[in-house]
Amino acid sequence: MSANIALVGNPNCGKTTLFNALTGEKQYVGNWPGVTTEKKTGVPKNHSGLLITDLPGLYSLHAYTQEEETAKNYIFSDKCQAVINVVDGVNIERNLYLTLQLIETGKPIVAAINMSDVLEKRGIKTDYKKMSELLGIPIIAVTASKGQGIEALLELAEDLIRNERGEPSCLKKTVVYGAELQSLIENAKRIFSSQNANYALWRAVAFFDTGKDGGYKGNFDILTKQADALAERQNMDTDMLVSDGKYDFITGLLRRVRKGGSSKKNFSKKIDAVVTHRIFAVPIFFAVMLCIFAVSFGPPGQALKNVFGYLYGRLIIDGASALLTKAGVSEMTYGLIIQGILSGAGAVLSFLPEIALLFISLSLLEDSGYMARAAFISDRLLSKSGLSGKSFIPMLMGFGCSVPAIIASRTLENDRQRRLTMMIIPFMSCGARLPIYAVFASVFFPDSVPLIIFSLYLLGIIIAVLSAFILKKPVLKGNKGEFILELPEYRMPSLKNIRIHTLARIKDFALKAGTVIVVSCAAVWLLSNLGTDFKMTGDTGESILAALGRFIAPMFKPLGFDDWRAVTALLSGLTAKEAVVGSLEILFNISTNPTVLTSVFTQQSAYSFLVFTLLYTPCAAALAALKRELKSVGWFLISIAYQLIAAWLTAFLIYNVIGIFKGL
């Protein structure tokens, strides 16, 4: 039977990096808070008797968010037999607050002081043996990103579980508070112990920290009056007694075990003086993003796309065509496989190199720590809409995929803020829309492809922020967002993290092309080749798909496009946004002759089409995640209706504004 060990620590302390190092798993790692929103489990190599669970980050065992509640519930459950407390050595004062709380639960615990290599570079020396004696728990220095100290940590964890008997020694050794508060805590502990309450010490400390007795009976009123009197003598609020005592203990502890350290302004602060500057921060952010698009969709990305497209055509399509011809399959089967499935999926997959470059670039920014600064920069604007810069973290994740971005909204403490954030995340342009942008931009704006794609990303952000203002009153009802975000240290991006992140995105993109998009392309080909009498037709204009498209098309005429093929391509995007390109390939054969789109679109209507594609409802998977996380059918339907209305109105406005300027 495996022993369950929980990885517990503050957000962005390196838990997931350590989890990957311990288990060999390939979970996504980001140098910003909120990456882990659900539990993940794995078995360490050569230690099959251990099961490691990576929990969402939390600052305190008094949970305020859904992810913190998930972590807390697991820690206090019988499943959790021991804890590896991951401590960010660079921000150790704040991290040790959670360590003291964990010690008070009585769970077997070993502390892993992470980022020890950074401490060495700063000339900070720590006596971990002395720290271990003072805290009463095993402590080891590790550098998770480099795999240092991993085996020793696992051995410590095994010894801890194997040797643990009765009350943990840390509860006997660790005296955190002053004599008066300690006496009050002991009295409260006896009350809880007399009623066989689990975690009696934790409950006693939590009582003075939060004022909650958990429904247990005892002389709590007397203890409260004594605590109030103690707080008055110390000139502080009663609910500050515990936290003040903990930080006093931490300060004294570090004074005894740490030496050295440079007083010079560190590297991260020097960079932040520029990139978070009140005036220059936003222009720098947009300049960085524009450079990324120039690389991904400019000459480097285009060259890779052409090579990939050529190889796909020669190896896959030509090879399959030869095999099917040799096998003597029917004309319908040949058309379905070659013209429908392979050509449709190939039109999507041909953009894989450009998308890979984009995700590599974004991973570099995330792993370096810059994306956390982007959230900090956004707070000034988002706070006026009732949200906070913390909402911008899942919004930024939406650049990759809306599904994890919607789930990441769990990091928000306020239910109304969480709901509003989820409702505007779909306006952030996900990676699945990129092939559509690239097709239209290369045909209608060949000299400005990166700029056009950048403008769509920027428009998505603008519409999301404007929507927050519009929806603020009905959704938030006056609640204001608070924002506390620790800016992580800048670091050299890890090639391993970038590889894991990029490969995960490529795998997701390729799996969609091999599943959802294949089915979608097959359906589009069949519906465009079957007449309304359900017989094969040589005229796609007489097909079932054409009839459906013509029925809906009038709604899009004010947006500049009402061709049934364009409209039905948008419908296929409800399954997966990449399917829009697959449908266009089947209906227009754009891989062979992309300029055929000019027979249906003008520059003006093409950009309108892109704007609608950017803003209308996300794919089925994102809608399922939205419904699940909103936990309300009513708000889910309101969200869908709002997205469709916003997409139509924005595309209509932009189409007509462009028309006005063209007429001048």
Mean pLDDT of the chain: 83
Count CB neighbours of 521 within 10 A: 29
- Alpha-carbon distance of 138 to 482, in angstroms, equals 36
Q: What is the pLDDT of residue 139?
A: 92
d(CA 608, CA 539): 28
Give the CA distances from residue 281 to residues 191, 286, 375, in Å, rounded to whole numbers and listed in that order: 55, 9, 11
Please state the rounded mean pLDDT for residues 194-203: 88
Mean pLDDT of 355-373: 81
Task: State residue 195 phi and psi, 5-degree precision.
Answer: -105, 20
* Neighbour order of strands in the sheet with 139-141: 40-42, 50-54, 3-9, 82-88, 109-114, 139-141
pLDDT single digits (tens) 562-603: 899 999 999 988 888 888 988 898 888 888 888 899 999 999
Comparison of pLDDT for 321 and 511, the residue scoring more: 321
Nearest partner of 21 among 96, 69, 84, judged by Cα: 84
Question: Coil, strand or helix: which one is 5?
Answer: strand
pLDDT at 532: 81
Of residues 464, 525, 207, the one with CA closest to residue 336: 525
Ranges of H-type helices in 312-401: 318-327, 331-334, 343-349, 352-368, 370-382, 389-397
- Note whether 84 and 7 are within 8 A (CB): yes
> Domain residues of the chain, as ranges?
3-173, 179-259, 281-663
Residue 261: predicted pLDDT: 67
Higher pLDDT, 372 or 657: 657
Q: Residue 486: name the closest of 89, 94, 128, 218 by CA.
A: 94
The C-alpha atoms of residue 35 and residue 204 are separated, in whole angstroms, by: 32
Q: What distance in Å separates the CA atoms of residue 245 and residue 440, rounded to the nearest whole number? A: 62
- Does the pTM surpass 0.85? The reply is no
HEC letters along 57-124: CCCCCCCCCHHHHHHHHHHCCCCCCEEEEEEEHHHHHHHHHHHHHHHHHCCCEEEEEECHHHHHHCCE
Most confident of 499-508, 615-624, 650-659: 650-659
Q: Which pLDDT band holds residue 31 (cuts at 50, 70, 90)?
A: very low
pLDDT at 542 over 60: yes
d(CA 192, CA 444): 73
Binned at pLDDT 50, 70 and 90, residue 169 comes out as low
- Tally of CB atoms within 10 A around 27: 18
Is residue 124 within 8 Å of residue 261, measured between CB atoms? yes
Contact 42, 19 (CB under 8 A): yes
**282-313: pLDDT as tens digits:** 888 888 888 888 888 788 888 888 898 888 88
Q: Give the DSSP H or E segment for 9.
A: strand 3-9
CA dist 571 and 580 (Å) reads 8
Over 50: is that where the pLDDT of 165 sits? no
Annotation: CATH topology of 3-173: Rossmann fold (3.40.50)
